[in-house]
Amino acid sequence: MSSLILDTETSDTENAEVLSLAWAASPFHESEAQMVFFKPSRPIKFGALAVHHILEEDLAGSRPSSEAPGVAPKVDYWIGHNIDFDWRVMGEPPVKRICTLALSRSLWPELDAHNLSAVAYYVLGATPETRALLRSAHNALADVLICSKILDVIVKVLRVTDERQLWELSEEARIPKIMTFGKHKGKPISDVDRGYANWYRRQEDTDPYLLEAFKRARI
């Protein structure tokens, strides 16, 4: 088995094209940290620009973003904070995904936020050193290295020794216990009525983890 911590920065959140791709070693697999830039076929949206500050002129001479899916090393597992987004913009390759966002929500439900920076402050400490580290957040390589530090803590807390164990725990952490949308938002999954659950099952692009939660609750 092999794994990488991976992150992307993109041109938008919908119809997104990869602008930068970075990866680094996981606790289970050695790899040199790298970052590659790509040129999109469409203008970068201002909302995305405000997050990562990658200008189109920075990408002059870079390879087209359509080539991004073939650049990342071939491994069995990708690890990242909300890794599903990166997986989608990279063309949904046949790789298992380990989500540190889901694991953080499961391990530390008391936190008021679970984004990368918030979890970093929690596990690394609200110190000037952590603040300095996070000032580079939303740079793909910086986010990978921040995620790596969070992952080291998660691995120690969960006492896992390989990617397979961590993936299984990530899959379990993804199954929601509380509804996050709709008329039942904020309620336990077990309180959702069968009619609503059946309505959701008929929708397009359903969340397989929410469907599993309904199944476990027998609704």
The residue-averaged pLDDT of 102-127 equals 95
> How confident is the model at residue 32, as a pLDDT?
81
How many residues would you count in the chain? 219
Each residue of 52-110: pLDDT tens digit? 999 999 999 999 999 999 999 999 999 999 999 999 999 999 999 999 999 999 999 99
Instruction: Count CA atoms closer than 13 A to 172's CA, side-chain side.
Output: 9
Residue 80 has which token pair? 């990242």
Q: Please choose, from the candidates 134, 2, 152, the residue with its C-alpha nearest in 3D space to the C-alpha of residue 73.
A: 2
Look at residue 1 and tell me whether its pLDDT is greater than 70: no
| DSSP 8-state symbol, 14 | S
Go through the domains of the chain in sequence order and give each one's CATH number.
3-174 (3.30.420.10), 176-219 (no CATH)
> How confident is the model at residue 27, as a pLDDT?
87
